[in-house]
Amino acid sequence: MLKARVLLLFSGGLDSILAGKVLQAQGLEVLAVRFITPFFHWQWRGREEEFDRMLREKYGFRGLIRDISEEYLELMKDPPHGFGSAANPCIDCKILMLRKAREMLSEVEADFLATGEVVGQRPMSQRRNIMRHIEKEAGVTGILLRPLCAKRLPPTEPEKKGLVDRDRLYDFCGRGRKPQMRLAEEFGITDYPSPAGGCILTDPQIGERLKRLLALRGGLSVREAELALFGRHFIEDGFWLILGRKEFENRRLQELARPGDRLFKIRGIPGPTALLVEGRGEAERVREILKRYTPKARGLPKVELEEITP
Ligand code: SF4
């Protein structure tokens, strides 16, 4: 008999690992998909084989990577359910991921979806009524199983069909981590990331910057989103300048520079690299800003700009 197959939305946190392990223990084949955007898990772009190998070795899951950047950046322009405390569109983010996972079901020949969500764990997106709303909007009602809190929710199709034994699922709820840690011990899982990590979109400073860029530019490309996440930014209508704060940021600015941008530094003096993304004619202003942020240039009466070819 063919094993039932589940497509697990896999963040890499303990809850998603456990959700997969619980189903695997019932004999299911686990396909773990990781969605990537410039805002999360971007380091896995182009590394699907490595990801798959890592997951097979560590957990016995198959690993898949899906880049959802384009849809995500579209969503960021005006998320229907708004942003959370920073630039995190959590409800629409979850809807998008679940919708994309549902669309993958036939491609990967999986029977249903699973997540590691726990009722009441997050203030907003894991409240029971919001969870139901998210399911409905994503079109996954009945085909989404949450093994860690399934006993607190109505039975899903895979339970009704007997693909999964409801008695061997869990009833975790709330923010406590103890039940998860006990279960991790049972599965012999010891090296899992701490829950503190979090998504960069919840960072207040980056959130404010992203919202400002979105308001001024109407939307962001993948490269612009990548640029927005590091460095020192000077943003006004018609002007966007980014300074590297460390050597690796200077290098990253050079890598991300494109024809049409201008790249500068102060000639002959070590210091930040500046990428002028918008405002091509503003070299004089760039010189002033760069002088301010190049410690060895500050006291000098005159400094010259050096333009680097991207
Ligand atoms: S914290 Fe980030 S990744 Fe998680 S749901 Fe919110 S926006 Fe999406």
Q: What is the DSSP letter of 258?
A: -
Q: How far is the CA of 52 from the centre of ligand 1 (A)?
A: 23
Handedness of CA 86, 92, 95, 96 (dihedral sign): negative
Q: What backbone torsions phi and psi does residue 277 show, to the nearest 5 degrees?
A: -85, -35
**For a pocket test of ligand 1, which of 11, 88, 97, 202 has the largest count of ligand atoms closer than 8 A to its C-beta?**
88
Q: How far is the CA of 88 from the centre of ligand 1 (A)?
A: 6
Residue 294 has pLDDT above 80, yes or no: yes
Residue 124 has pLDDT above 80, yes or no: no
Residue 83: name the closest of 195, 215, 238, 241 by CA. 215
CA dist 24 and 221 (Å) reads: 39
Q: How far is the CA of 86 from the centre of ligand 1 (A)?
A: 11
Mean pLDDT across the chain: 94
Residue 248 has pLDDT above 80, yes or no: yes
**For a pocket test of ligand 1, which of 11, 72, 201 has the largest count of ligand atoms closer than 8 A to its C-beta?**
201
Share of the chain above pLDDT 90, in %: 89
Question: Is the minimum distance from the CB of 83 to ligand 1 under 6 angstroms?
Answer: no
Residue 1 has pLDDT above 70, yes or no: no
Q: Please list the residue range(s) of the chain that carry CATH number 3.40.50.620.
A: 5-187
Quote the pLDDT of residue 125.
61
Question: Is the minimum distance from the CB of 33 to ligand 1 under 6 angstroms?
Answer: no
Q: Which CATH class is domain 5-187?
A: alpha beta
* pLDDT tens per residue, range 191-245: 887 765 578 999 999 999 999 999 999 999 999 999 999 999 999 999 999 999 9
Quote the pLDDT of residue 247.
97
- Rounded mean pLDDT, 278-303: 94
Quote the pLDDT of residue 178.
94
Q: Is residue 9 classed as helix, strand or coil in its secondary structure?
A: strand
Residue 175 has pLDDT above 90, yes or no: no
DSSP track, 169-230: S---BSS--HHHHHHHHHHT------TT---GGG-HHHHHHHHHHHHHHSS--HHHHHHHTS
Quote the pLDDT of residue 195.
64
Quote the pLDDT of residue 170.
98
